[in-house]
Amino acid sequence: MGYLQIKGVSKTLGRIHTLDNISLSVNQYESVVILGPSGCGKSTLLNIVAGLISPDQGQILIDGEDWTGRTGRVSYMQQKDLLLPSRTILDNVAIPLILKGTPKKQARQIAQQHLTEFGLSDFSSYYPRQLSGGMRQRAALFRTYLFARDILLLDEPFAALDAITRRRMHLWLKDLQSRYRWSILFVTHDIEEALIMADRILVLSARPARILQEFAVPEQPDITTHQSIKKNILQLLEPEEDDTSVYRGNSSQL
């Protein structure tokens, strides 16, 4: 399974109105990308879906069940790999299994089985410090996968990588998704990344974030479709990125 619904979620953090009535759904095996300007509340939305913070209004439904404000159902990966420096790659990725009560030896065995597919078989006994950023993100994704195998929340997971490595990670992630049939909610401010990763792109406004428009991305977009979607998104975002409008948007909150 892996059907995620976000229903009418609003959130004010401190005195800043961050999310304004956000509703969206991620169907099974679908990859939905949320695209928005920096600081628009994308990460707050993922934190709410993960159950780390509760929304002021609205609900999070997963396979029809209410998971609002509860952690432990979906897996969540951030820009930082957040691997434990004290554990080898194998022991790091096995953590979610151990937290669920799987005996250590068995957890390692399960992790070991998938190491090759995640491109980590040569590095299982390395400590995170010994690996490059790309390899560490692979391990982080692997750990994310071992936590919940149907719904993945990815918060700019490759933003800290160089362009070439990022490109390789996109292709690799696409390949894994088609094999494992994940439902993915992916957050980014990079239009190119959105176009590569998405079945659907939802464009958010600056704070308070609302969904401005939805774009469907065809499986293999030809150059013209690609260009036209990109152009439409840019047009949508540009007035919002204008300095005066950002100040105007904030002045009502302050």
State the residues that interact with other proteins by CB under 8 A: 47, 50-52, 71-72, 75-76, 78, 80, 82, 84-87, 95-96, 99-100, 122-123, 126-127, 129-132, 135, 147
Nearer to other proteins, 139 or 194 (CB): 139
Nearer to other proteins, 99 or 110 (CB): 99
3-state class (DSSP) for residue 49 = helix
CB of 185 to other proteins, least distance (A): 14
CB of 253 to other proteins, least distance (A): 25
Distances (CA, A) of 216 to 9, 183, 198, 228, 240: 22, 16, 8, 12, 22
Tokens of 35: 């695209």
134, 81 contact by CB (below 8 A): no
Nearer to other proteins, 36 or 96 (CB): 96
CB of 66 to other proteins, least distance (A): 17
CB of 97 to other proteins, least distance (A): 10
CB of 70 to other proteins, least distance (A): 9
33, 201 contact by CB (below 8 A): yes
Nearer to other proteins, 25 or 43 (CB): 43
Distance of alpha carbon 24 from alpha carbon 251, whole angstroms: 28
| Single-letter residue type at 159 | A
Tokens of 249: 């948007």
